[in-house]
Every structure is written in C-alpha cells, then in structure tokens.
Amino acid sequence: MTRWAMAVSVAMTLGAQAISIAQAAPEFSGMWRLNQSKSSRAIVGNTPDIQFASQLEVKQSATDISIVATSIRQQPVSAVYKLDGSKVNVQAPEGITETGEAKLDGTTLVITSRRSFSSPAGDIVVDFKEVWSRSGNELTVEKTRTQSGDSSTQKAVYDKL
Amino acid sequence: MRVILASVSVGILLATLSLQAHHSFSATYDGNKPITLRGKIVKLGWQNPHAHLYVDVTNADGKVVTWEVESAGPTTLMKQGLRKEDFVGQEVVIKGFLAKDGTPTVNASSFTLVEAKKEFVNDEKAP
C-alpha cells in the first residue's frame, strides 16, 4: 500500500468516527421540571391549550425509554417505550386507553400516541405527536394534538434537576 | 358589636363564594381528557370570574346533551370584542378539557363562533 493510499484510509476512518460521534443517540435520562417562562404561554394554568406535564422522570437505555409524566392534581401518565418504534400500552389514568410508540430520529425522540376515553358526548379519540430535543440541561418538547380533524401545537421547555 | 359581627360574617361568606367560583383548573378538570364540542349556545352566564356558556350538543346517537362550558371572564372576552348579546343562538366550536366528575362540563381553552368565523381564546392574559 502506498503512503497516499494509507493516508486516505486513515482520513476516511477518522471521518467515519467523527460522523459516528456527531450522530450518537441523544440521551434524555433524568428528572426534568417544566420551565414556564421558556414555554408556550397556553400550556399551563387555568386555560391550557395543550396540557404538558409539570415534571418528567426519564430513564433511557439502548433499547427502551421509560417516561413518567406528572402534574399537580392530575393522575400520572407513564410508559416504557421500545426505541424500535413498536407499539406499547401507556399506563394512563382510569378510564383512558392509550397506546404509543417512540423512535429516535437523528438527535430527536419522536413519540406518537392515540388516547381514547368516553365522555357525555360519546367516545373521544385524540392523537398526539411529541418531538423531544435536548440542548445541555434543557429539554424541549413540541407537542401536537389532533382531534376531530383539527391540530394544535405547543412547546414546553424543561430544566434538568 | 352585632353590626361588626354581621359584617365579618357577610365578608367571610362572600370570600368563600368567590373562592368556590374561582377554583383552579387542575382541581376541577382533567388535563388528560381534551375534547372538542360543536353545538348551539342556549344560555349564557355573564359573570365574573368566569362566563359560562350552556351549549346543546347532539351526540352521534341523536341525543342532545346540554354542556356547561366555563370560559374566561367577561372582561377578557370583551377585550376580544365580544358582548353578552353575541352568544345565545350562535353555533359554536369549543376546545377544552372535561370535568373530572364525569358531568357534561368543560373548561374551554378556546371557542369559535361559527358564523363570525373567529376564534376566541380564554387565556386570561389575552389582549
């Protein structure tokens, strides 16, 4: 092998490693608390558009991500998602049935779910899509709710505890 | 002395009523149960701290249910150009959250008067 060929080979190896590091799976593990001042205005308080959890407890492994979402005076919602995108049951409060799936997409985590429950207006079905991204000790969750053909999107920012 | 006692009693009573009326969202409504309703406004409660719309909604089985819809207060609604005469008889689409007690009661985050084609938000800080 010529010196030139060796140099090219080394450069390609280093380049591949750099790309690999840059595209490493994002890590979301930790306790995260909602930062209202950095979030959309219409997500908490007495007139939320889309409800976000006050706190998220996240445990991530190479294959799973466990999420427990809690809010003041609201029943917690939790799930252990497989990161291969397979469908799982979400542990929702009594009276709610929910399934969802999660998948890493580059530097983001995408969770989609379908929630159903009964009401005096009949059976209700709501679809959610959450896109998670992390920057240092800040977690941004963009949530879209689709119901009766109408969609709404809001953003929440969480600080790592 | 009796006058003072009577005044204090009335004050406590009014404060209690005010607190009952101005409850927190999380105590009364289920943030995990968003709902969209479409129906006709049949009655309006135009008082602080919240206006209440009473809306007839027809279910899929044809049954009509009257929903109580908690909205923002009159001041917030008036800032968005609404008057109390603008409601009764109007068709409305409501986005909000179900009450925890299972009754046909909802906290509206927004509503749209169909004829006016305008959405009104219930954010108390809305312009």
Closest CA to A83 of A108, A53, A46: A108
Residue B127 binned pLDDT confidence (cut-offs 50, 70, 90)? very low
Closest CA to B105 of A48, A50, A120, A95: A120
Residue type, A104: L
Closest CA to B108 of B79, B73, B65, B60: B73
Burial of B5 (0-12, 13-18, 19+ CB in 10 A): exposed
Residues A144 and A151 sit within 8 Å (Cβ to Cβ): yes
Tell me B22's DSSP state.
Answer: S
Which residues in chain A are contacts of B37 at CB distance < 8 A? 121
Q: Which residue of A has its CA nearest to B35?
A: A124
Q: Determine contact: B87 vs chain A, CB below 8 A.
A: no
pTM: 0.80
Closest CA to B47 of B21, B23, B73, B18: B73
Which pLDDT score is estimated for B20? Answer: 45
Closest residue to B31, CB basis, from A48, A150, A152: A48
Closest residue to B31, CB basis, from A71, A121, A124: A71
* Separation of CA A22 from chain center: 20
Give the gap in angstroms from C-alpha A138 to the nearest C-alpha of chain B.
24
Q: What is the pLDDT of residues A120-147, one digit of tens each?
A: 999 999 999 999 999 999 999 999 999 9
Closest residue to A119, CB basis, from B27, B35, B95: B35
Residue B12 confidence (pLDDT) above 50: no
Which residues in chain A are contacts of B110 at CB distance < 8 A? 49
Q: What is the mean pLDDT of residues A104-112?
A: 97
Residues A118 and A95 sit within 8 Å (Cβ to Cβ): yes
CA distance B82 to B53: 13
Q: Please calculate the CA angle A102-A103-A105 and round it to the nearest 5 degrees.
A: 145
Burial of A95 (0-12, 13-18, 19+ CB in 10 A): middle
Q: Which residue of B has its CA nearest to A77?
A: B32
User: 10 Å Cβ neighbour count for B114?
Assistant: 13
How many A/B residue pairs have CB atoms within 8 Å? 85
Which residues in chain B are contacts of A145 at CB distance < 8 A? 34
Question: Which parts of chain B are beta strand (E)?
Answer: 29-45, 52-58, 64-70, 91-99, 105-113, 118-121
Domains by residue range for chain A, with CATH: 26-160 (2.40.128.20)
CA distance A44 to A24: 33
Domains by residue range for chain B, with CATH: 25-121 (2.40.50.140)
Q: Determine contact: B102 vs chain A, CB below 8 A.
A: yes
Tell me the residues of chain A between 106 and 135 that have a Cβ less than 8 Å away from chain B: 115, 117, 119-122, 124, 126
Burial pattern A32-47, b for ≥16 Cβ within 10 A else e, equals bebeeeebbbbbbebb
Q: What is the pLDDT of residues B74-111, one digit of tens each?
A: 998 999 899 999 999 999 999 999 999 999 999 998 89
Which pLDDT score is estimated for A48? Answer: 80
* Separation of CA A158 from chain center: 12
Residues B58 and B37 sit within 8 Å (Cβ to Cβ): no
Which site among B26, B71, B119, B121 would you substitute to test the A interface, given the most A Cβ atoms closer than 10 Å to its Cβ? B26
Which site among A36, A47, A98, A119 would you substitute to test the B interface, given the most B Cβ atoms closer than 10 Å to its Cβ? A47
